[in-house]
Amino acid sequence: MGIDTIGGWPSVLRPLTQGGSLSVEVAGIAMTEILEGKASPAQISAFIVALRMKGETVEEMTGMVRAMYDAATPLDIGALVDSAIDIVGAGGSPSRQQAALNVSTMACFVAAGAGAVVCKHGNRKASSTSGAFDFLAAIGIPDDIAPEGVARCVREAGVGFAFARTFHPAMRFAAPVRAEIGIPTVFNVLGPLANPSRLRRQVIGVSDVVQADKMIRVLEANGARHVLVVTGDGPLDELALTGESSIHELVDGTIRTYGITPEMVGLPRVEASAIDGGDAARNATLFAAMLDGERGPVRDIVALNAAAGLLVAGIAPDLAAGVEAAHASIDSGAAAAAYQRLLDVIATIGD
């Protein structure tokens, strides 16, 4: 159904400018128009700014994510769709823009070492010093792996990484507008909600607790089984060591909200500067040191966020047990082995 069947862009924009909201269907139609390259820059800009000014609803976000799924390049991981996990941060944490630490990406290897199957969806940096795929490139993992190759990594190595630009190429139509207007919009949170494998278990970090509540409900509407949407002290788009983190948890249709502190899971509280990262090369050095056994805040924050992944994977019964399992993954060499398995599988892709 095209946008002309509902009266064109005026029928979408008019209610938004008057404080009204769109249905799941209408929001999806508008998003499809953007993803098919049929919307002008002016129409895209008007749409996303109007949404931001009045506040995006769960229904609007749900319709937009469904349109993204429909336009995406499929990532078929077979039966693993029910058990695989994603650990991802939405980005945009003010305190991370100058010294980003790739916590969620490092945590993926630790979770894989502890027995989770990981299929992470990510991108290169937008506003921070190092995005997921900037860091991955620095540790030898390319961003040009074809969809079947990514699926092989997930199946054979137990961990794989889906580059957003490969699986959501239609988002390129909105990219210039997003860059030019220079403010956060709904597009900043859509990516983490649209893992192309459509897996049902995720940990998503977002620095805005209001968005966290909306995101968990979008995930519920789109079939998620066990999800944590977390906002760390700071605010951070990950579980934090500096203070209390807010957690929205969805388990089989039931949502609850609670907070945790580092002390509640057996970890020390630290100053924010203790977990500073930097550019991709700096983060690669920190990752190697962690795998080699270096202890401290970097290891602890990675273990904490890996613990969240182990919780949604059903491997750990709670976050405290997950932290113990994450530390064991690092200390035993299992996390390093997961990383090496991935490199080994990548080396055979194309053979």
In a domain, 350, yes or no: no
97-156 pLDDT tens trace: 677 899 999 999 999 999 999 999 998 766 567 788 999 999 999 999 999 999 999 999
Tell me the mean pLDDT in the region 192-199. 98
Do 55 and 97 sit in the same domain of this protein?
no
Both tokens of 38, joined, read 């049929």
Contact 108, 98 (CB under 8 A): no
Instruction: Please tell me the total count of domains within the chain.
Output: 2
Both tokens of 298, joined, read 């970097």
- What pLDDT score does 136 carry? 98
Do 209 and 326 sit in the same domain of this protein?
yes
What CATH number does residue 21 fall under? 1.20.970.10
What is this structure's pTM?
A: 0.95
Do 244 and 143 sit in the same domain of this protein?
yes
Long-range Cβ pairs for the range 331-336 (8 Å, 24+):
331/293, 332/113, 334/113, 334/114, 335/109, 335/110, 335/112, 335/113, 335/114, 335/291, 336/109, 336/113, 336/291
In a domain, 229, yes or no: yes
Do 64 and 84 sit in the same domain of this protein?
no
Do 24 and 150 sit in the same domain of this protein?
no
Do 108 and 56 sit in the same domain of this protein?
no
**Final residue of a domain: which of 41, 71, 101?**
71
Do 100 and 166 sit in the same domain of this protein?
yes
In a domain, 351, yes or no: no
In a domain, 61, yes or no: yes
**Final residue of a domain: which of 71, 105, 125?**
71
Strand partners, 162: 121
Tell me the mean pLDDT in the region 293-310. 99
In a domain, 84, yes or no: yes
Tell me the mean pLDDT in the region 161-170. 97
Contact 157, 344 (CB under 8 A): yes
Q: What angle do CA 174, 86, 68 make, to 5 degrees?
A: 30
| Res. 339 pLDDT band, cuts 50 70 90 | very high
- What pLDDT score does 351 carry? 60
What CATH number does residue 304 fall under? 3.40.1030.10
User: Residue 15's domain spans which residues?
Assistant: 3-71
240-279 pLDDT tens trace: 999 999 999 999 999 999 999 999 999 999 999 999 999 9
In a domain, 239, yes or no: yes
Both tokens of 21, joined, read 């909201």
33-90 pLDDT tens trace: 999 999 999 999 999 999 999 999 999 999 999 999 999 999 999 999 999 999 999 8
- Distance between CA 51 and CA 13 in Å, rounded? 9
Do 104 and 60 sit in the same domain of this protein?
no
| pLDDT of 332 strictly over 90 | yes
Q: What percent of the chain has pLDDT over 90?
A: 90
| pLDDT of 214 strictly over 90 | yes
Long-range Cβ pairs for the range 220-224 (8 Å, 24+):
220/250, 220/253, 220/255, 221/58, 221/62, 222/62, 222/65, 222/66, 222/69, 222/193, 223/198, 224/200, 224/250
Do 307 and 163 sit in the same domain of this protein?
yes
Do 302 and 228 sit in the same domain of this protein?
yes
Contact 195, 202 (CB under 8 A): yes
| Res. 95 pLDDT band, cuts 50 70 90 | low
In a domain, 9, yes or no: yes
Do 49 and 114 sit in the same domain of this protein?
no
Contact 104, 87 (CB under 8 A): yes
**Final residue of a domain: which of 12, 38, 71?**
71
Per DSSP, the residues of 211-257 read HHHHHHHHHHHTT-SEEEEEEBTTTBSS--SSS-EEEEEEETTEEEE
Report the candidate in 291, 297, 290 with the shortest Cα–Cα distance to residue 274.
297
Q: Phi and psi dihedrals of 277, rounded to 5? A: -105, -125
Do 28 and 156 sit in the same domain of this protein?
no
